[in-house]
Structures are given as structure tokens and as C-alpha cells.
A and B are shown apart, each in its own frame.
Chain A
Amino acid sequence: MNERQEDDRSNSIATLDSRFSQTLRNVQGLLKGRSMPGKILLSRWSDSPDDTNSPNYKRSFSHSDAGTSDHTSGEEEEEFQSTSKPIGITSAIKLRISTSLGESPPEEVRKSAVGARATDSARVMKFTKVLSATVVTLDKLRELAWSGVPDNMRPKVWRLLLGYEPPNSDRREGVLRRKRLEYLDYIAQYYDIADTDRSDDEVNMLRQIAVDCPRTVPDVPFFQQQQVQKSLERILYAWAIRHPASGYVQGINDLVTPFLVVYLSEYLEGGIDNWSMSDLSPDKIANIEADCYWCLSKLLDGMQDHYTFAQPGIQRLVFKLKELVRRINEPVSRHIEDQGLEFLQFAFRWFNCLLIREIPFHLITRLWDTYLAEGDALPDFLVYIFASFLLMWSDKLQKLDFQELVMFLQHLPTQNWNHQELEVVLSRAFMWHSMFNDSPSHLAG
């Protein structure tokens, strides 16, 4: 990021930037001298010290170093630095962090294209380097991808992160070809048959999928195209048949959409608003569907009990979310409880649809970069992301009664969100994860 761009980001966002950088400084302070089992976490933020123009975070540091940060953040930093011994963080400090961070309402968050980080040339070079290796080092790729993947590399990076495309380049072509044929086989075997050859349950499932496909992401016109809906239907039905323990569950239709958009972007030019499925040959559509199918399968393999009967996996995570919010921000937690609002009443959908319903669609793929980089750790990390997301409105929430809370949480004001807000959510999630994940008293359920 060069100086001119830095100047463009005028003082009006100084508050946010300083808070944001403070978050990161806090994280670094906390991590200092602390043994972290997950090395990935540590290195995400400090790629390589000589790379001064790549990560946004670096820029944010210099921004506040230049004197734009306010007094309180200075104070806080001292406290953090002084307490950054291995593991031990006193509860008083925890409370302090949580309240001070909770105080930045999204209203003051200015729109700014911070997503630029992913396309920053130095980052692109790093990705290129990792991806061009004969055998891709997945840990390195995860580190990079956590902070966002450049658009044109996303299809490949996602396939690799999900373990669908093998890291060994010699095997890549063969495996993908075989997997794509396998998908075609499923379609021939399960989908392209007469209803009379299906069981009653299968007929019902297909019917349910057919009811949901036309109303998937209804606010994005692209998904209204009939061919898109047909592709969705085939992918979902094949997945449902192949996963009888859960079958199709409403909301899984949402989960296909990021994959569909990303794999279509390999074949279609321009933005989603100008895409037409009819520009694609049947071969290409089959490949895209196969990639979506396998990626969906891989993603959901890590969340098997999220969609089985009564969705125990989701209920468990909702419980963890409630506990985590209580530890991070006791007043918000107590207020929610006093009002008789159950976390299940709003957070169920968050886990079920992985936040697709809650933030603008154009931000979803960036969010999913982090999801997929987390890999097997994703379900537990979701708890941190969602706590961070909820606490974006910590002040506001405390002013609402039960009914206002339910209404507010069901239509959160994220319509004008841009990458910057999302980065705040993710960086706080990261920070809280570093602070709380090793401590034993919560998440014991």
C-alpha cells in the first residue's frame, strides 16, 4: 500500500483504524512469550517482517504510530504488554478489553475498500509462489488464505484447502478428472431417473430441494436464472442422496452458493450481474457442478452432526457461543438473559447457514476464505466469529427489550457493510480465540 493511498484514507476513519490496530497490538502483546499450539495463528499477522507494504495490519500500525490513536488505546496497550505472560491474563484485564472493544459501533465504520489487501501485489506473489510448488505446502497456503485470497486464485485455493484437489501437482489432473466423472455418475444414477424409481423419502427430498432452489439468495438476480437453479438442484440432490444420515436440510442450499459463484468465476468473465449460464457448454457446467458438489461434501464432512436429526452439532455450538459471549462481555450476556432471549432463537440460523443470510453476498467469499483456511478447526472457530459478529452491536443490544432484540437480530443492519467491517469481525474473533481458547473453564460442554 503506497503513501498516496494511505493519505486517501482520510482522518475520518482514523478512529476505526486506531481501534483496529489496537486490537492487533493487543493480540501481539498477548501472544508475546506465549506458547501457541497452533503456529498458524501466530504467523498470520506477521507474515514476514521485511514485507512492509503487504498486509493491511502493518499499514494500520503505522497509521496509529503516526499519532492518530487516541489516549485510551495507549493506556490499554501498556496494560496488555505488562500482562503478556504465558497464559495468565487476569479477569480484570479481560473485562477491560471486552468493554473497550465493544464500544465501537458499526455506524462509525466507514466504507472503504480494504479488500484490496487480497489483490496487493506482494500478497499475490506469495500466493503464486506457494501454488506453483510441485507439492503445495498446505500450512503455508492456510496462513495466506486466512486473510483473504485474490479472486482469480480462489477456485484453486479453495479446492486445495478442502482437500479436493491434491497438493501434489503430478496427481492433480488425474484426481480432478476422476472426481468429476464420479459426480456425473451420481447424476445419472440418482438424479436422471424417473420418480417411479425413487423411494417415497427420495421423492419428498427432491420435492423439498425443488421448493428451495428458486428461493435461494433471492436478492441476487443471478440466482433467479433457471439454469442456475437446476444446477443447484442437481448438486443438492446428489449430496443428499450420498449423505443419508442427514439428507437435505434447509439452509444447505445457501451453502452451495459461494462455491457456485467461485467455480463459475473460472469460466465466466466480468461480475455476477452480467453472468449467464447459457454461455457455458454442458461440459463446463458439469465440471462446475462437480467442483461444487465435492467442495460442499468436504466442507460438511467436518460438521456431520450439524444437519442430522435435531441438529445436535449446531445446538452444541450455540451453547458454546452463549458461554463465550458471557466471558467476553458479561453485561450484554446478562441483558440477553434478562430479556428471556435464547441464543438458539437467533444464532441457530447463523450456524445453519454460516452467516450467508446475515451479511451482503459480495462479502461471503472473503469470509469463506477464512472459514476454509481454518479447516478442521472451523466449527470451533465459528463460535469466535459469531461472538465477534454479535458484539459489533454490543451497545445497541443492551438498549433493546426482548421483542426489539429479536427483530434487530433477525435483520441486522449489515446492508452497507464492506470489507472493512468484516475484517474487524475476523480480527476480533482471532484475538478472542487467542485469549480464551486455551483456558479450560469454558467450552467444557
Chain B
Amino acid sequence: MRRRKKENMGSAARVGNSSYDYSFKVLLIGDSGVGKSSLLLSFISNSDSIHHLSPTIGVDFKIKLFTIGGKRLKLTIWDTAGQERFGTVISSYYRGAHGIILVYDVTRRETFTNLVDIWAKEVELYSTNHDCIKILVGNKVDKEGERAVTKEEGMALAQEHRCLFLECSAKTRENVQQCFNDLTLKILEVPGLREKGYVVVKRQKQKKSQSDSCCS
């Protein structure tokens, strides 16, 4: 039972066809209102307009297939609620994640400081892949006039926590694709993660029949 759950939520997706070579789980975290859902929508859909979205409650979940460096990838992206109060629930979001995107709003300084005070600690606590890739993302650079966190500060924090770093805008879509590209390329560079995400249909079938027989 437990094994099967892991399979589904983590690396090896259960699919009939093998239209992709790797399947990775990515998690979006950060304060509420920094634009996690917007960033995701901007990445998933090709529409130019990002409207107001309702605050995420619990978790939202989206899938994107794309090709990078000649590899066909499937990303399942878990978009979490920004208000941290879900305790035990949240650990299931982190389980088996290959990549984590930490988002802040460049116009709201507290969303930046909370990344250190709250979110980095949470990653430390719940993350099960200890070599998982993190990327720090400063969103809303389209509001340059309201900027409250400099790019240098962002870079310094990223370095300190050994994260990748980018500034982007979900609204204008500037750097949005780049953010996911950088993250997945880096995941592919880490043998431990790459192997966990490698999709071998045959192996999964065996696993599945094993667990079926032991459960029934």
C-alpha cells in the first residue's frame, strides 16, 4: 500500500504509454499571494493574461509535458497553500519531490524574509530527497517601481542556501519557462534524482503486480 502510494506521488508515474522518459515531482512553496498559482498557470497555459486566482486551499496539482536537452519530461507540479497551518498534511506534499520552487514577491519584503524564517525550515524538515534541487524565484518583477528586495539580495540568499536563482514575472511570463527549465536541467544532472525519475514501464508493471498480490 505504502509503496504504491509512493510510486504515484513520487517519481515513477503509472501510465500505459511511455511518451516521456522522465517523470519528476516539483513543489511550489512560499507565502500566500506571492503568485505561486499564477506562476504555475503562466507556465502551463499559453494564455497571456493571468487573472486574479482564488487563494489555494490545501493543494492544487498540474502536469506539464515538455522536451529539454533531447529528453522527454513529465513534470507534476504541486501548488500549495501559502498560509502555513496544515501540519501533518503538508508532509505528504513534500514526499518524493525532486525539485522545490521557493517563491517570494519582490515587492513585499516580508515574503522574502519568511523564506528563511519559515519555508527553508519546512523544506529541511519534510523533504525526503535530500539532494533535491531548490530554486529561489523572485516574482512580480513587472512592478519594478514597487520593488522592495534587490536582485543582489536574492542572489545572496540563494547562494547561502545552495539554490538556483531567478527573477521572473508570471504576468508578463518573463523568465517563467526559464525557471522550470533551469530546475529540470539541474535535476537531470543529479544521478540520484535522475534515476528515481526514470520511467521504466516494465519495472513498474512488476511492482504493481507484486503489490496487488500482497494486498488482496
Q: Which residues of A contact B (CB under 8 A)?
A: 204, 207-208, 211-212, 214-218, 224, 249-251, 253-254, 309-311, 315, 337-342, 344-345, 348-349, 352-353, 357, 401-403, 406-407, 410
Contact B54 A215 (CB under 8 A): yes
Interface contact B8-A349, CB-CB below 8 Å: no
**B residues less than 8 Å from A212 (CB atoms):** 32-33, 55
CA distance A338 to B9 in the complex (A): 13
Is the pair B58, A344 in contact by a Cβ cutoff of 8 Å? yes
Q: Chain A residue with minimal CB distance to B79?
A: A410
Contact B58 A348 (CB under 8 A): yes
Q: Of B81-89, B123-131, B152-160, which binds chain A?
A: B81-89
Q: Tell yes or no: B5 within 8 A of A by CB.
A: yes
Closest approach, in angstroms, between the C-beta of B119 and any C-beta of chain A?
15
Chief secondary structure at chain A's binding surface: helix
Whether A342 touches B92, Cβ cut-off 8 Å, given contacts A249-B85, A406-B61, A410-B61, is yes
Decide yes or no whether B200 CB sits under 8 A from chain A: no
Complex Cα distance, B14 from A195, in Å, reads 52
Chain B 52-91, CB within 8 Å of chain A: the 1/0 string? 1111011111110000000000001000011101111100
Q: Which of B18-65 touch A at CB < 8 Å?
A: 32-33, 51-55, 57-63
Other than the known A250-B83, A410-B60, what 12 A-B pairs have Cβ atoms closer than 8 Å?
A218-B52, A218-B53, A254-B54, A309-B87, A310-B85, A310-B86, A310-B87, A311-B85, A315-B89, A340-B8, A348-B59, A402-B14
B85:A216 contact, CB within 8 angstroms: no
B85 touches A340 (CB 8 A): no
Please list the 9 inter-chain residue pairs (A to B) with the smallest Cβ-Cβ separation, ordered nearest first.
Answer: A310-B87, A211-B33, A340-B5, A348-B58, A340-B8, A218-B52, A349-B57, A402-B8, A215-B52
* B13 interfacial contact with A, CB 8 Å: yes
Contact across chains for B76 and A253 when beta carbons are under 8 A apart: no
Q: How many A-B residue pairs have CB under 8 A?
A: 91
Q: Tell me, in angstroms, the Cα distance from A410 to B76 when the chains sit together.
A: 14
For residue A211, which residues in chain B have a CB less than 8 angstroms away from its CB?
32-33, 55
Are A403 and B63 CB-contacts (below 8 A) given A340-B9, A353-B57? yes
Task: Compute how far the CA of A211 lies from the CA of B58 in the bound complex, rounded to whole angstroms.
Answer: 17
Contacts of A254 in B (CB 8 A): 54
A310-B87, A345-B59, A402-B14 known; A250 vs B32 contact (CB < 8 Å): yes
Task: Digitize B5-18: 1 where CB-to-A-CB distance is under 8 Å, 0 elsewhere.
Answer: 11111000111000
Interface contact B89-A339, CB-CB below 8 Å: no
Q: Does B147 contact A (CB under 8 A)?
A: no
Known: A340-B8, A403-B63, A410-B60. A348 touches B89 (CB 8 A): yes
CB distance from B162 to the nearest CB of A (A): 29
Closest chain A CB from B59 CB (angstroms): 6
Q: How far does the alpha carbon of A263 sit from the alpha carbon of B43 in the complex, in Å?
A: 40
Q: Does the CB pair B61–A250 fall under 8 Å?
A: no
Distance A249 CA – B52 CA, assembled complex (angstroms): 19
Question: Would A310 and B57 be within 8 Å (CB), given that A250-B81, A402-B14 are in contact?
Answer: no
B2 to chain A: closest residue by CB: A340
Does B186 lie at the interface of the complex (its beta carbon under 8 Å from any beta carbon of A)?
no
Report B6 CB to chain A, min CB distance, Å: 8
Q: Which residue of A lies closest to B61 (CB)?
A: A406
Q: A310-B86, A353-B57 are in contact. Are A403 and B51 (CB under 8 A)?
A: no
For the complex, give the distance between the alpha carbons of A254 and B54 in Å.
9
A159 to chain B, nearest CB (A): 27
Let me know if B196 is at the binding interface, CB within 8 A: no
Question: Which residues of chain A are near B63, meaning CB under 8 Å?
Answer: 403, 407
How many angstroms from the CA of A140 to the CA of B197 in the assembled complex? Answer: 60
B54 adjacent to A217 (CB under 8 Å): yes
* Residue on A nearest B82 in the bound complex, by CB: A250
Inter-chain contacts of A208 with B (CB < 8 A): 32, 83
How distant is the Cα of A402 from the Cα of B76 in the complex, in angstroms?
A: 12
B81 to chain A, nearest CB (A): 6
Query: How many angstroms from the CA of A183 to the CA of B82 in the assembled complex?
Result: 30
Residues in B with CB closer than 8 Å to A215 are 33, 52-55
Evaluate contact between A218 and B57: CB separation under 8 angstroms.
no
Q: In the complex, how many angstroms separate the beta carbon of A45 from the nearest chain B beta carbon?
A: 34
Q: A214 — which chain B residues lie within 8 A by C-beta?
A: 52
**A407→B81 CA distance, assembly (Å):** 17
Q: Given the complex, which residues of B lie within 8 Å of A353, measured CB to CB?
A: 57
By the criterion CB–CB under 8 Å, are B4 and A338 in contact?
yes
- Using CB atoms, name the residue of chain B closest to A337: B1
With A208-B32, A208-B83, A338-B4: A403-B13 Cβ-Cβ less than 8 Å? yes
Q: How far is the CA of A46 from the CA of B3 in the complex (A)?
A: 51
Residue from A218, A251, A403 having most chain B Cβ neighbours under 10 A: A403
Residue ID in chain B nearest A346 by CB atoms: B58
Cβ contact within 8 Å between A357 and B58: no
**Are B8 and A311 interface neighbours, CB within 8 A?**
no
CA distance A208 to B88 in the complex (A): 22
Structural contact, B5 and A401, CB atoms closer than 8 A:
no
Select which of B4, B5, B14, B55 is within 8 A of A250 by beta carbon. B55
Closest to A407 in B: B61
Quote the shortest CB–CB distance from B60 to chain A (angstroms).
6
Q: How far is the CB of B35 from chain A (nearest CB, A)?
A: 11
Measured in the bound complex, the distance between the Cα atoms of B61 and A328 in whole Å is 28
Chain B positions within 8 Å of A344 at CB level: 58, 89, 92
Contact of A339 among B8, B60, B92, B110 (CB under 8 A): B8
B53 touches A401 (CB 8 A): no
Contacts of A250 in B (CB 8 A): 32, 55, 57, 81-83
- Nearest CB on B from A399, distance (A): 13
Q: Which residues of A contact B81 (CB under 8 A)?
A: 250
Chain B neighbourhood of A345, CB < 8 A: 58-59, 61, 92
- Looking across the interface, which residue of chain B has its beta carbon closest to that of A345? B59
Within 8 Å CB of B14, what residues of A? Answer: 401-402
CA distance A353 to B76 in the complex (A): 25
